[in-house]
């Protein structure tokens, strides 16, 4: 029995890139041997075991063949006779098809180290097209290693295009698509994920609402980059640069979906695009089974982002109603996330990436002002329904005071 560290841990070790998960492949063993050594079985489709102490995954070397559609359409074969090379050839990329023994010797039958040097994401074999999930995985790797200069090999991009055109992507479950996409959104260059998917034709299959933004013009005096799709990617870059969380990044990604629905005779203006965006944002979230909190922020940013941009000029009552809709009293974190997403939208424009966005601090100050006014601070003679009305009145008055201070500062 021989044990090898495989996959991402080997790749990142050779790159000097941080990694946390370790996966192992076991050659020359049977399930019975693994059980006798105290390993705990966890695999359903093929034998995977947890180490009795470290709880790291150890999988028996296996081969596989396509036997159906989609991500689960495979039959696996495990046997002590399966070699390390046979196990590695079923993997997606050459840089993921390397193994290392406990002495640090690297086994690289498919030139993964060469492709690390060349900064290429290249498929191991033509069996790549048997698994549609690999289209998303390669796009995610492109997003992860973009800063290191990695790019998708032309021949691999061609196979990804073949998969996109085959209809196989439609066999992916919403859970798998969301899992890969949510992980990609948290990469340092999440925009590259969507750009690679667009390049191979997968974006229009899996995210037609986002794909539809490319080629839609905007007014150049407000959007020097002009193209709505480019603006969306630039805004997402801002969210990544700032290190914002998943909810904010997803909200930024879908905030302008309504612009793809603007009537052609109104272009390049996008009147009412916020309202038009509600339906496509809802459809994306429902199709991918996006978590509720993520969906709620996305809808709020879609519907209200222009109000945030106009915050300094809003009447106190209008600003109060905006904060109310954002659930300021119960969920101040929602207001903060909303502000972050809107700031990314403002800065996701060509030449305006570093432009000041005073609206952000103004809304944060407004949030604190209204939250500091509590029922226990009201006069004791205020009773019943009058309490709610008095609280609203005082909060609006406080926002009026904040607005006056802001105007003095700006003068």
Distance (Å, whole) CA 179 – CA 368: 35
Confidence (pLDDT) at 270: 97
Q: Is 100 helix (H, G, I), strand (E, B) or coil?
A: strand
CA dihedral sign, ordered 346, 347, 352, 358: positive
Contacts with 401 (C-beta within 8 Å, 6 or more apart), sequence order: 369
Contact 92, 134 (CB under 8 A): yes
Extents of the domains making up the chain: 1-115
Contact 297, 337 (CB under 8 A): yes
> What is the value of pTM for the model shown?
0.91
User: Cβ–Cβ contacts within 10 Å for residue 111, how many?
Assistant: 17
Confidence (pLDDT) at 22: 92
Distance (Å, whole) CA 318 – CA 192: 38
Instruction: Quickly name the fold that domain 1-115 has.
Output: Beta Polymerase; domain 2 (3.30.460)
Per-residue pLDDT of the chain (411 residues; tens, 9 = 90+): 899 999 999 999 999 988 888 999 999 999 899 999 999 998 666 689 999 999 999 999 988 765 555 455 556 778 888 999 999 998 999 999 999 999 999 999 999 999 999 999 999 998 899 899 999 999 999 999 999 999 999 999 999 999 999 999 999 999 999 999 999 999 999 999 999 999 999 999 999 999 999 999 999 999 999 999 999 999 999 999 999 999 999 999 999 999 999 999 999 999 999 999 999 999 999 999 999 999 999 999 999 999 999 999 999 999 999 999 999 999 999 999 999 999 999 999 999 999 999 999 999 999 999 999 887 777 777 777 788 788 899 999 999 999 998 878 766
Distance (Å, whole) CA 71 – CA 20: 25
Confidence (pLDDT) at 74: 55
Confidence (pLDDT) at 18: 87
Confidence (pLDDT) at 387: 80
SS3 content of the chain, % helix, strand, coil (to 5): 55, 10, 35
Find, among 239, 278, 234, the residue nearest to 255 by Cα: 278
Q: End-to-end CA distance of the chain, in Å?
A: 77
Distance (Å, whole) CA 143 – CA 233: 12
Contact 387, 378 (CB under 8 A): yes
């Amino acid at each position: 029995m021989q044990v090898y560290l495989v996959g991402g841990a080997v790749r990142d070790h050779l790159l000097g890139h941080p990694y946390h998960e370790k996966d192992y492949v076991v050659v020359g063993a049977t399930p019975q041997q693994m059980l006798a050594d105290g390993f705990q079985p966890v695999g359903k489709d093929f034998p995977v075991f947890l180490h009795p102490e470290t709880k790291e995954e150890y999988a028996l070397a296996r081969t596989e063949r396509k036997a159906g559609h989609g991500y689960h359409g495979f039959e696996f074969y495990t046997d002590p006779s399966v070699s390390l090379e046979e196990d590695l050839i079923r993997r997606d990329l050459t840089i993921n098809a390397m193994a290392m023994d406990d002495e640090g010797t690297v086994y690289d039958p498919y030139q993964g180290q060469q492709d690390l040097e060349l900064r290429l994401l290249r498929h191991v074999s033509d069996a790549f097209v048997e698994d549609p999930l690999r289209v998303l995985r390669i796009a995610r790797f492109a997003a992860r290693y973009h800063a290191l200069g990695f790019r998708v090999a032309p021949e691999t991009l061609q196979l990804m295009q073949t998969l996109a055109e085959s209809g196989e992507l439609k066999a992916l479950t919403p859970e798998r698509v969301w899992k890969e996409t949510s992980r990609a959104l948290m990469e340092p260059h999440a925009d590259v994920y969507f750009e690679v998917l667009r390049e191979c034709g997968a974006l229009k299959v899996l995210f037609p609402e986002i794909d539809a933004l490319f080629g839609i013009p905007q007014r150049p005096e407000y959007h020097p980059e002009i193209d709505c799709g480019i603006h969306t990617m630039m805004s997402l870059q801002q969210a990544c640069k700032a290190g914002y969380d998943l909810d904010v990044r997803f909200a930024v990604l879908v905030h302008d979906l309504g612009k793809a629905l603007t009537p052609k005779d109104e272009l390049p203006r996008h009147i009412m695009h916020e309202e038009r965006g509600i339906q496509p944002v809802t459809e994306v979230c429902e199709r991918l089974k996006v978590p509720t909190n993520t969906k709620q922020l996305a809808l709020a940013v879609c519907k209200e982002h222009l109000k945030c941009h106009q915050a300094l000029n809003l009447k106190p009552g209008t600003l109060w109603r905006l904060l109310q809709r954002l659930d300021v009293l119960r969920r101040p974190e929602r207001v903060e996330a909303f502000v972050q997403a809107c700031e990314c939208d403002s800065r996701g424009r060509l030449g305006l990436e570093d432009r000041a966005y005073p609206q952000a601090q103004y809304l944060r100050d407004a949030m604190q002002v209204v939250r500091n006014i509590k029922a226990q601070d009201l006069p004791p003679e205020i009773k019943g329904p009058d309490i709610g009305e008095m609280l609203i009145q005082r909060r609006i008055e406080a926002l009026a005071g904040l607005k006056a201070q802001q105007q003095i500062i700006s003068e």
